[in-house]
């Protein structure tokens, strides 16, 4: 497996052992001046309104300042779009932090690791922690990131909101970090993985919006549950689990009210899908009926067509939808099976056509360079999706941690750029075919007045449309047909399933 090499530098910690070995003792500051560093990438399309502040790092900020044991904590968030190491370093140094937490994504990891290296030189006794989707031992086991094990004091790999509190309360030594669940800690050039951390109740976590930590007028974020019932191997959600931890209607209403008070530009729905958790959707829909913010604003969300019900569609018709992403990835069923994708493309067409007609602003999402697919299949998938009246949103396949980086079998033959994580070649794709596909989708986007970037492309039909609510048609004959799918009754938190 591709993941076989990167896993060589991992140690699963035996907490019963008294022979833990770690880097030599080095005292760290015990103060509570905490810098949280993130980089908002913006969309690949700068001409589109894309004020998307980092949500993950503000979750951490909210957790720290809401901890009654930390009344003296001074927290500063350093958010921006710059890749300038000097600028980022100088801003952090001016704050004179005791602890610095970096929220690392594929677009920020190279810059942040260099900032951390120089920060270690400037403030040797500062604690340096990395969290976020790219803060994984597997990432720091490949070049050019291997040096991270000698710079970073720990990686937060599970449930950062609770873990950061434990880190701050500890003496910040390697011994202390080895006792904190949900971390990876450097030991003799390797990463020791501490025991798993159970998630706190989502309802109990502090709200960045309600604490005034999200910039006014920007996109705001709504997370009504955690987890995903699917385990597609290309995706960092990537772990199949029934998402049972759901926000209450009252808490979601409070979030929407906070968004309105903060003049949010719109709401990015962060759940794996609007249609994948019935109880979460019911609470969300009821909260919106009470607050009425989204009918005056805009919503960006993902849906899975096979699970659409009448209430889902009528909810989408009642609010302003700026983006409804429909994940297809490929029409090649064998490819989908190979990446553990549960999909039935033969049912896809009719449902998406109906959704475009009922709601509009639908984008069919596909992946360029998916292992086992081909240039010809990719083109056919895009062309067929356009026939529905939707846009096509194409993403260059990435070899992500918690996904292909550790899950891909040898036969995928993945060759990828270690900085961007973009696939350069793989099963079914030569490097020339990858480049030809990129050129082809770029030209298609240009032809349709769409948007094109380095890692994603979108054709341009709905980008020129408004986000006013469509409204539920008065004529019953024009409404969404029922039943299309129904909830599985055995457990109200499970995904909806096809009637058939």
305 and 452 co-located in one domain: yes
210 and 320 co-located in one domain: yes
Cβ contacts of 348 within 8 Å, gap of 6 or more: 305, 328
- Dump pLDDT digits (tens) for 416-473: 999 999 999 999 999 999 999 999 999 999 999 998 888 999 999 887 778 889 898 8
Q: What is the mean pLDDT of residues 260-289?
A: 95
**pLDDT at 44 (0 to 100):** 64
Residue 74: is its pLDDT beyond 70?
Answer: yes
Predicted confidence band of residue 404 (pLDDT cuts 50, 70, 90)? very high
Cβ contacts of 106 within 8 Å, gap of 6 or more: 133, 134, 398, 400, 420, 421
20 and 144 co-located in one domain: yes
**pLDDT at 307 (0 to 100):** 84
**pLDDT at 319 (0 to 100):** 96
Look at residue 272 and tell me if it is in a domain: yes
249 and 270 co-located in one domain: yes
User: Are the C-beta atoms of residues 253 and 208 closer than 8 Å to each other?
Assistant: no
User: Are the C-beta atoms of residues 135 and 171 closer than 8 Å to each other?
Assistant: no
**pLDDT at 414 (0 to 100):** 97
Out of 15-19, 58-62, 389-393, 398-402, pick the least confident. Answer: 15-19
CA distance 251 to 256: 9
249-261 helix and 278-291 helix, angle to the nearest 10 degrees: 50
229 and 180 co-located in one domain: no
Higher-confidence residue of 25 and 221: namely 221
Look at residue 496 and tell me if it is in a domain: no
Higher-confidence residue of 152 and 238: namely 152
**Listed residue (252, 268, 206, 251) closest to 75, CA to CA:** 206
CA distance 197 to 3: 23
User: Are the C-beta atoms of residues 27 and 125 closer than 8 Å to each other?
Assistant: yes
Backbone angles phi, psi at 303, to 5 degrees: -135, 155
**CATH code for the domain of 455:** 3.20.20.70
129 and 223 co-located in one domain: no
Residue 41: is its pLDDT beyond 90?
Answer: no
User: Are the C-beta atoms of residues 320 and 298 closer than 8 Å to each other?
Assistant: yes
DSSP state of 186: E
44 and 19 co-located in one domain: yes
**pLDDT at 16 (0 to 100):** 41
The mean pLDDT value of the chain amounts to: 88
Residue 236: is its pLDDT beyond 90?
Answer: no
Kindly give the pairing relationship between strand 391-396 and strand 456-458: antiparallel
267 and 135 co-located in one domain: no
Look at residue 484 and tell me if it is in a domain: no
Q: Which helix (H) or strand (E) holds 333?
A: helix 333-338
CA distance 31 to 95: 13
Among 171, 193, 215, give the residue marking a domain's end. 193
110 and 244 co-located in one domain: no
Residue 168: is its pLDDT beyond 80?
Answer: yes
Q: What is the mean pLDDT of residues 332-360?
A: 86
**CATH code for the domain of 81:** 3.40.50.280
Look at residue 493 and tell me if it is in a domain: no
Look at residue 486 and tell me if it is in a domain: no
Per DSSP, the three-state class of 104 is coil
188 and 237 co-located in one domain: no
Look at residue 495 and tell me if it is in a domain: no
Look at residue 458 and tell me if it is in a domain: yes
Residue 492: is its pLDDT beyond 50?
Answer: no
Per DSSP, the three-state class of 429 is strand
Distance of CA 343 to the CA centre of its chain: 21
Out of 70-79, 176-185, 332-341, pick the least confident. Answer: 332-341
The domain in which residue 47 lies consists of 2-193
* End-to-end Cα separation, the chain, in angstroms: 37
CA distance 237 to 230: 8
Look at residue 14 and tell me if it is in a domain: yes
**Listed residue (340, 397, 396, 400) closest to 136, CA to CA:** 400
In a 13 Å sphere around the CA of 429, the CA atoms on its Cβ side amount to 31
Out of 99-108, 218-227, 312-321, 342-351, pick the least confident. Answer: 342-351
Q: How much is the CA Rg of the chain, to the nearest whole Å?
A: 23
Out of 88-92, 162-166, 487-491, pick the least confident. Answer: 487-491
Backbone angles phi, psi at 416, to 5 degrees: -140, 160
Considering the chain, what percentage of its residues have pLDDT values greater than 90?
70
Out of 94-98, 229-233, 423-427, pick the least confident. Answer: 229-233
Q: What is the mean pLDDT of residues 395-414?
A: 94
Q: What is the mean pLDDT of residues 386-413?
A: 94
Residue 500: is its pLDDT beyond 80?
Answer: no
72 and 27 co-located in one domain: yes
The total of structural domains in the chain comes to 2
Residue 17: is its pLDDT beyond 50?
Answer: no
Higher-confidence residue of 122 and 241: namely 122
188 and 294 co-located in one domain: no
**Listed residue (366, 393, 363) closest to 381, CA to CA:** 366
């Amino acid at each position: 497996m591709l993941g076989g090499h990167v896993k060589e530098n991992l140690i699963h910690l035996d907490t019963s052992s008294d022979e833990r070995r770690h880097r030599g003792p080095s005292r760290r500051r015990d103060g509570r001046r905490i810098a949280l560093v993130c980089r908002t990438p913006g969309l690949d399309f700068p001409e589109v309104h894309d004020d998307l502040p980092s949500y993950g790092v503000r979750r951490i900020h909210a957790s720290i300042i809401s901890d009654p044991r930390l009344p003296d904590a001074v927290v500063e968030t350093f958010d921006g779009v710059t890749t300038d190491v000097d600028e980022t370093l100088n801003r952090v140094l001016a704050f004179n932090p005791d602890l610095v937490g970096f929220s690392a994504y594929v677009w920020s990891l190279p810059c942040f690791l260099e900032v951390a290296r120089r920060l270690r030189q400037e403030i040797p006794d500062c604690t340096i922690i990395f969290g976020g989707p790219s803060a994984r031992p597997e990432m720091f086991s490949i070049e050019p990131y291997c040096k991270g094990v000698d710079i970073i004091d720990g990686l937060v790999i599970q449930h950062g909101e609770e873990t950061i509190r434990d880190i701050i309360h500890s003496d910040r030594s390697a011994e202390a970090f080895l006792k904190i669940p949900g971390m990876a800690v450097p030991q003799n050039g390797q990463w020791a993985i501490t025991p798993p951390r159970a998630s706190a109740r989502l309802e109990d976590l502090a709200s960045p919006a309600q604490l005034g930590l999200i910039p006014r007028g920007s996109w705001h974020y709504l997370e009504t549950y955690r987890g995903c019932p699917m385990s597609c191997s290309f995706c960092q959600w990537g772990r199949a689990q029934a998402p049972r931890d759901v926000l209450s209607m009252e808490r979601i209403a409070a979030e929407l009210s906070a968004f309105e008070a903060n003049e949010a530009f719109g709401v990015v729905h962060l759940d794996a899908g609007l249609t994948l958790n019935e109880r979460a959707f019911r609470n969300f829909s009821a909260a919106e009926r009470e607050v009425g913010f989204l009918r005056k604003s805009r919503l960006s969300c993902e849906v899975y067509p096979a699970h659409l019900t009448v209430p889902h569609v009528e909810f989408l018709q009642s609010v302003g939808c700026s983006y409804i992403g429909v994940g297809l990835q490929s029409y090649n069923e064998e490819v989908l099976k190979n990446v553990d994708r549960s999909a039935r493309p033969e049912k896809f067409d009719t449902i998406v056509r109906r959704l475009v007609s009922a709601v509009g602003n639908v984008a069919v999402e596909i992946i360029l360079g998916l292992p086992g697919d081909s240039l010809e299949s990719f083109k056919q998938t895009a062309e067929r999706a356009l026939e529905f009246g939707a846009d096509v949103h194409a993403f260059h396949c990435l070899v992500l941690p918690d996904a292909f980086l550790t899950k891909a079998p040898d036969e995928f033959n993945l060759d990828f750029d270690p900085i961007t994580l973009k696939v350069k070649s793989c099963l079914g794709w030569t490097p020339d075919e990858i480049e030809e596909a990129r050129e082809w989708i770029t030209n298609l986007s240009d032809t349709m007045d769409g948007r094109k970037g380095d890692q994603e492309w979108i054709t341009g039909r709905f980008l020129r449309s408004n986000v006013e609510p469509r409204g539920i048609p008065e004529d019953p004959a024009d409404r969404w047909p029922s039943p299309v799918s129904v909830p599985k009754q055995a457990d109200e938190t499970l995904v909806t399933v096809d009637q058939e």
